[in-house]
Amino acid sequence: MIANFGFGVLVITFLVTLYSVFAAIYGERKKIPAMVESARRAMLLTWPLLTLTASILIYLLVNDHYEVQFVYEVTSRSMPTYLKVTAWWGGQAGSLLFWSWLMSAFASLVTLRKWDRDREFLPWVIVVACVTMAFFIGMTVFFESPFAQLYQMSTGVEAHTFQPANSILFIPQDGNGLNPLLRHPGMVIHPPMLYLGFVSFVIPYAFAMAALITGRTDDRWIRLTRRWTLWAWMFLSFGLVLGGRWAYDVLGWGGYWGWDPVEIAAFMPWLTGTAFLHSVMIQEKRGLLKHWNMLLIILTYDLVIFGTFLTRSGVLSSVHAFAQSAIGPLFMGFVSATLVASVALIIYRWDSLKSETEMTSLLSREALFLLNNLLFMSILVVCFWGVIFPLISELFTGQTVTVGPPFYERATGPLFATLMFLMGIAPLSAWGHSTVKTIGRAIWKPIVGALIMTAIIFATYTRNAIALVGFFLIALVILVTIYEYWRGANARQKSQGENIFAAFWNLTGRNRRRYGGYIIHLSMMLMAIGILGIELFQVETQGALEVNQQMSVGGYDVVYQDIAQFQGPDGREVTRAVLSVYKGGEYLGELNPRIDYYYDAQQTMTIPGQRSTLRDDLYILLVDWEPASATGATFKIFVNPLVNWLWLGSLLFLVGIVIAAWPEKDAERVAVHSNARVQQQTSAAD
Amino acid sequence: MTGSSRNTFYVLLLTLVLAGLWTGSASAQGPTPTDDEVNRIAKQLYCPVCESTPLDVCPTEACRQWRDLIRTMLAEGKNEEEIKQYFVEQYGVRVLNEPPNRLVSYIVPVVAILLGAFILFRGFQTWIKPSMMKSNLEDAKQETKPFQDLYIAKLEEELKKRK
């Protein structure tokens, strides 16, 4: 009954989104503002409706309604309540509903803004947002209902939305339980972050389409969505980092990124989104690349949908799984239709998107940003090809192949290195024009500094050529960024008589986007230190130990002390080892790698014992053990140098993006202040 | 060489050959390969039944047995290539961590990237007029201030005025 009610609300929401689309188009075409307003209100209604739907689903999940197929598949009686709630996005049908719910929240937020100056965008933003929403809600209504119930039929138990004739409701005693891999705190926030990133990129896309349809193709749509884009990028970036942390803590393979197609599916819109973030600045400052920016936001939107398709259709396991459910062809159709329609709009508005000025120098900031775009797109090409190559191979040759880390690392390594080099030069170039001489004059000091640091690393840490090139580039970017900060703060210190801290603070406050961006560059370099460390210097060993026996790796000595088995509170059997860790004879503490066996899902999880420092992580996995004697166990030990810098970098990244996306005072109002002159010059310079 | 010394030479040669053969067979049957030796090969293979899971970290029982198989094959004296080839013959090329034909897998992205670079540099050539580049160079020659950044320049100008 409750499930049927939930399904009913879902159907009503679907109809409301369709109404919103048609009312917006009709109101706009017939010039009836009341219709457009009606469409806006209908769109605002979707969020409370989907919240009600989601609440019903959560009620079913928390109260063990196993007659509902989705509840049966993702929960069990032994799961704690918070996990039953987060199981909402632990399965296909629920995650589609979750996507729709977030989308409706963002669409509502955007329609609540003041539209006075941009009223012509409103109907088309509604159309794009509601078409996207209708697609996802439609998917849950027609193909993947989270409210389908189990019925006992003469042929067996089947799931149906409506009770078939000659059947009775089937209520299992317990559910399958959530996949143990998803029962981790990281998984509680990783998917919402990623989905937030995905859905919030729909908003700039909706504005871009509105700009193309209305013909208002100046940079107004970019200015309106600048902050949306930054938040979208933040959510997506942080979602990716959280996914990496979850993999590191839960998957038990000693790393954070395995170039898995699912990871790449989320990484691809990040690549185009990052290129877009840089590229829109060229349009804002110089009126260039309007076609390109449109194309980038279209690509980002379609990669978001394509990524969801890749992970949801089953196509990754086999190209033949694509046709097994209706989801795959529908997603493919939606991606193709939106891509074709969007590109057709660009072609239609081609002339009005022409650049206002010309590029004047190969070393100008806009030219370097274009190079940056080329590199991001090249990485995208590698990733896209890596993901679809197995499908193409299977389709044309019948041979299934795997494209694993060696391909991606070899192909993207030089591209990432060049990107870092650009990150070192670009902040020193000026909009409009720069020359080798002007950049050379600014960069020689950071280069000398970076060379000295590389020499120290060569003398004390490593002689690996790739690592040295990497550390040189990291040092260069960090020094250039600090140098840029120092130049700005120093100038403020002199002109305003401020102390250095106030100068830094005010400098950042005056131009949050630029200096927030620099902090993001710094954070990326901290992450690069972690990536270089683990990729190039990770050492590992595996071996069986008897009690009190020792194994050594990377300067650590590990002594196996004991192993114990006990029942966990949430339906799992825990096998936990005790190991003492020493370095240079000094006792550092105890680590407890463990294996959790979940009875309901009949699956094991290997949880590492970790000791983290800025220098390295000691990461121990319990691989195997002998239940009979409990005296022998096999351990795999990793020493992951510098990996903590990756997580530290991600925290600094958050700081940077909050600074960059923080609302600035309205430039028009700022101009009337007493020190207006300096401020106007500041904004003119940037 | 006399007859006896020739005989001694042949005996020595035979002894050396036999010793060599014995050493070879002894190493083939030698000590059980370590987990690290097994993992070095397993790392380059993907679990034939699970999705996107390297064989060295796959926790399933089947993968444990496959790792034991690698150990046995190593103990029998098989080398890395032979073991990988065995797995390919048994389960197909999908067990390898990258496509066997590198040319096919790399050619498309390399061509696409080169094409992108070519289009961009043709674009630069069209956008940037030679006269503009010349005037830029002249601007640079006249440049005497240490910083090109307008923001800093304006601030320093302000400073001078205040003084």
Q: How far apart are CA A411 and CA B108, in angstroms?
A: 12
What's the token pair of residue A612?
Answer: 């983290």
| Cβ–Cβ < 8 Å for A554, A539 | yes
Q: What confidence tier does A364 reach under pLDDT thresholds 50, 70, 90? A: confident
Please report which helix (H) or strand (E) contains residue A36, including its range.
Answer: helix A33-62
pLDDT at B133 > cutoff 80: no
Q: Which of A48, A186, A39 is nearest to A125 (CA)?
A: A39
What's the token pair of residue A119?
Answer: 């009223």
Q: Which residues of A touch B139 (CB under 8 A)?
A: 433, 435
**Does the beta-carbon distance from A402 to B98 stay under 8 Å?**
yes
Strands (E), A104-189: 149-153, 156-160, 168-169
Which residues constitute the domain of residue B94? 31-100
DSSP A443-510: HHHHHHHHHHHHHHHHHHT---HHHHHHHHHHHHHHHHHHHHHHHHHHHHHHHH---HHHHHHHHHHH
Choose between A396 and B29: higher pLDDT.
A396
What's the token pair of residue A187?
Answer: 């998984």
Q: Is A398 on the interface with B (CB under 8 A)?
A: no
**Does the beta-carbon distance from A542 to B39 stay under 8 Å?**
yes
- Give the pLDDT of residue B124: 80
B158 assigned to some structural domain:
no
- Give the pLDDT of residue A519: 93
Separation in Å, CA A314 to CA A322, A325, B65, B69: 6, 9, 28, 31
Residue in B98, B136, B156 closest to A433 by CB: B136
DSSP 8-state code for residue A664 = P
Q: Which residues of B touch A399 (CB under 8 A)?
A: 92-94
Q: What confidence tier does A439 reach under pLDDT thresholds 50, 70, 90? A: confident
Residue in A358, A389, A495 closest to B105 by CB: A389
| Cβ–Cβ < 8 Å for B82, B132 | no
Q: Is B116 on the interface with A (CB under 8 A)?
A: yes
The domain that contains B71 carries what CATH number? 1.10.8.640
Give the dihedral of Cα atoms A254, A259, A261, A266; nearest 10 deg. 100
- Give the pLDDT of residue A186: 74
Q: Is A395 on the interface with B (CB under 8 A)?
A: no
ipTM: 0.79
- Which residues between 18 and 57 in chain B have a beta carbon less than 8 angstroms from any beta carbon of chain A? 34-36, 39, 46, 51-52, 54, 57
Question: What 3 state SS string does A382-421 have?
Answer: HHHHHHHHHHHHHHHHCCCCCCCHHHHHHHHHHHHHHHHH
Q: What confidence tier does A637 reach under pLDDT thresholds 50, 70, 90? A: very high
Q: Is B3 on the interface with A (CB under 8 A)?
A: no
Q: What confidence tier does B18 reach under pLDDT thresholds 50, 70, 90? A: very low
Give residues with Cβ within 8 angstroms of A475, minimum separation 6. A449, A450, A453, A454
pLDDT at B163 > cutoff 50: no
What's the token pair of residue B86?
Answer: 């065995």
What's the token pair of residue B94?
Answer: 């999908």
CA A297 to chain CA centroid, nearest Å: 16
pLDDT at A470 > cutoff 90: yes
Residue at A410: amino acid letter: R
**Does the beta-carbon distance from B154 to A678 stay under 8 Å?**
yes
- Give the pLDDT of residue A328: 81
DSSP 8-state code for residue B94 = G
Q: Which residues of B touch A544 (CB under 8 A)?
A: 35
B126 assigned to some structural domain:
no
Q: How far apart are CA A618 and CA A541, in angstroms?
A: 12
- Which residues between 565 and 604 in chain A have a beta carbon less than 8 angstroms from any beta carbon of chain B? 604
- Give the pLDDT of residue A118: 83
Residue at A568: amino acid letter: G
B77 assigned to some structural domain:
yes
pLDDT digits (tens, 9 = 90+) for A181-217: 888 777 788 888 989 999 999 999 999 999 999 998 8
B44 assigned to some structural domain:
yes
Residue in B99, B105, B149 closest to A685 by CB: B149
Residue A143 backbone dihedrals phi, psi, to 5 degrees: -125, -35
pLDDT digits (tens, 9 = 90+) for B36-62: 999 999 999 998 887 778 898 888 888
Give residues with Cβ within 8 angstroms of A180, minimum separation 6. A572, A596, A598, A601, A603, A604, A605
Q: How far apart are CA A445 and CA A129, in angstroms?
A: 49
Share of chain A above pLDDT 70, in %: 93
Choose between A330 and A319: higher pLDDT.
A330
Characterize B1-24 residue by residue with b for buried, 16 or more Cβ atoms within 10 angstroms of its Cβ, and e for exposed: eeeeeeeeeeeeeeeeeeeeeeee
- Give the pLDDT of residue A317: 61
Closest residue in B to A389 (Cα–Cα): B105
- Give the pLDDT of residue A255: 87
pLDDT digits (tens, 9 = 90+) for A539-554: 999 999 999 999 999 9
pLDDT digits (tens, 9 = 90+) for A640-658: 999 999 999 999 999 999 9
B121 assigned to some structural domain:
no
- Give the pLDDT of residue B49: 81
What's the token pair of residue A546?
Answer: 């008897």
- Give the pLDDT of residue A432: 72
- Give the pLDDT of residue B159: 59
What's the token pair of residue A568?
Answer: 């966990």
Q: Which residues partner with A421 through β-bridges? A: none
Q: Is B132 on the interface with A (CB under 8 A)?
A: yes
pLDDT digits (tens, 9 = 90+) for A257-269: 888 888 899 999 9
Closest residue in A to B105 (Cα–Cα): A389
Q: What confidence tier does B7 reach under pLDDT thresholds 50, 70, 90? A: low
Average confidence (pLDDT) over B124-140:
58
Q: What confidence tier does B26 reach under pLDDT thresholds 50, 70, 90? A: very low
Q: Which residues of A touch B93 (CB under 8 A)?
A: 399-401
- Give the pLDDT of residue B1: 46
Q: Which of A587, A533, A578 is nearest to A556 (CA)?
A: A587
- Give the pLDDT of residue A418: 95
Residue in B97, B106, B151 closest to A405 by CB: B97
B61 assigned to some structural domain:
yes
- Cα within 13 Å of Cα(A343), Cβ side: 7
Burial (CB < 10 A; 0-12, 13-18, 19+), residue A171, is middle
**Does the beta-carbon distance from A406 to B98 stay under 8 Å?**
yes
Question: Domain tally for chain B?
Answer: 1
Average confidence (pLDDT) over A326-347:
91
Closest residue in B to A485 (Cα–Cα): B152
Which has the minimum average pLDDT: A605-619, A620-634, B80-94, B146-160? Answer: B146-160
Which has the minimum average pLDDT: A261-270, A374-383, A600-609, A666-675? Answer: A666-675
Burial (CB < 10 A; 0-12, 13-18, 19+), residue A219, is middle
Average confidence (pLDDT) over B71-75:
93
Q: Helix A644-661 and helix A512-537: axis angle, to 10°?
A: 170
Give residues with Cβ within 8 angstroms of A351, minimum separation 6. none
Residue in A361, A371, A604 closest to B59 by CB: A604
Q: Which residues of A touch B156 (CB under 8 A)?
A: 491, 494-495
Report CA torsion sign: A677, A679, A684, A685. positive
Q: What confidence tier does B126 reach under pLDDT thresholds 50, 70, 90? A: confident
Residue at A199: amino acid letter: V
A158-161 contact pairs (CB < 8 A, 24+) = A159/A69, A161/A7
Which has the minimum average pLDDT: A311-320, A341-350, B86-95? Answer: A311-320
- Give the pLDDT of residue B9: 54
pLDDT at B160 > cutoff 70: no
pLDDT digits (tens, 9 = 90+) for A58-73: 999 999 999 999 999 9
pLDDT digits (tens, 9 = 90+) for A473-508: 999 999 999 998 888 888 888 887 788 888 888 888
| Cβ–Cβ < 8 Å for A536, A417 | no
| Cβ–Cβ < 8 Å for A422, A371 | yes
Which has the minimum average pLDDT: A128-142, A204-218, A386-400? Answer: A386-400
Residue in A437, A634, A677 closest to B140 by CB: A437
- Give the pLDDT of residue A674: 39
Which has the minimum average pLDDT: A230-244, A419-433, B8-22? Answer: B8-22
Q: How far apart are CA B59 and CA B63, in angstroms?
A: 7
What's the token pair of residue B48?
Answer: 């034939």
**Does the beta-carbon distance from A435 to B137 stay under 8 Å?**
yes
Q: Helix A92-111 and helix A185-200: axis angle, to 10°?
A: 50
B145 assigned to some structural domain:
no
**Residue A94 burial (CB count, 10 A):** 24
Q: How many residues are listed for chain A in this entry?
A: 686
Burial (CB < 10 A; 0-12, 13-18, 19+), residue A377, is buried
Closest residue in A to B51 (Cα–Cα): A317
**Average pLDDT score, chain A:** 88
Q: How far apart are CA B133 and CA B124, in angstroms?
A: 11
- Give the pLDDT of residue B130: 55
- Give the pLDDT of residue B162: 52
Q: Which residues of A touch B117 (CB under 8 A)?
A: 374
| Test the B interface: residue of A256, A371, A373, A402 with most B CBs within 10 Å | A402
**Does the beta-carbon distance from A434 to B148 stay under 8 Å?**
yes
**Does the beta-carbon distance from B148 to A252 stay under 8 Å?**
no
CA B6 to chain CA centroid, nearest Å: 52
Q: Which of A622, A564, A616, A563 is nearest to A588 (CA)?
A: A616
DSSP A210-225: HHHHHT--STHHHHHH
**A628 three-class SS:** coil
Residue in A399, A433, A686 closest to B139 by CB: A433
- Give the pLDDT of residue B25: 44
- Give the pLDDT of residue A190: 86
| Number of H-type helices and E-type strands within chain B | 7, 0
How far is the alpha carbon of B3 from chain A, nearest alpha carbon, in Å?
Answer: 56
Q: What confidence tier does B81 reach under pLDDT thresholds 50, 70, 90? A: very high
- Give the pLDDT of residue B21: 45
B37 assigned to some structural domain:
yes
Residue at A520: amino acid letter: I
Burial (CB < 10 A; 0-12, 13-18, 19+), residue B31, is exposed
Give the dihedral of Cα atoms A631, A636, A639, A645; nearest 10 deg. -110
CA A339 to chain CA centroid, nearest Å: 22
- Which residues between 209 and 268 in chain A have a beta carbon less than 8 angstroms from any beta carbon of chain B? 251-254, 258, 260-262
| Test the A interface: residue of B136, B138, B163 with most A CBs within 10 Å | B136
pLDDT at A568 > cutoff 60: yes
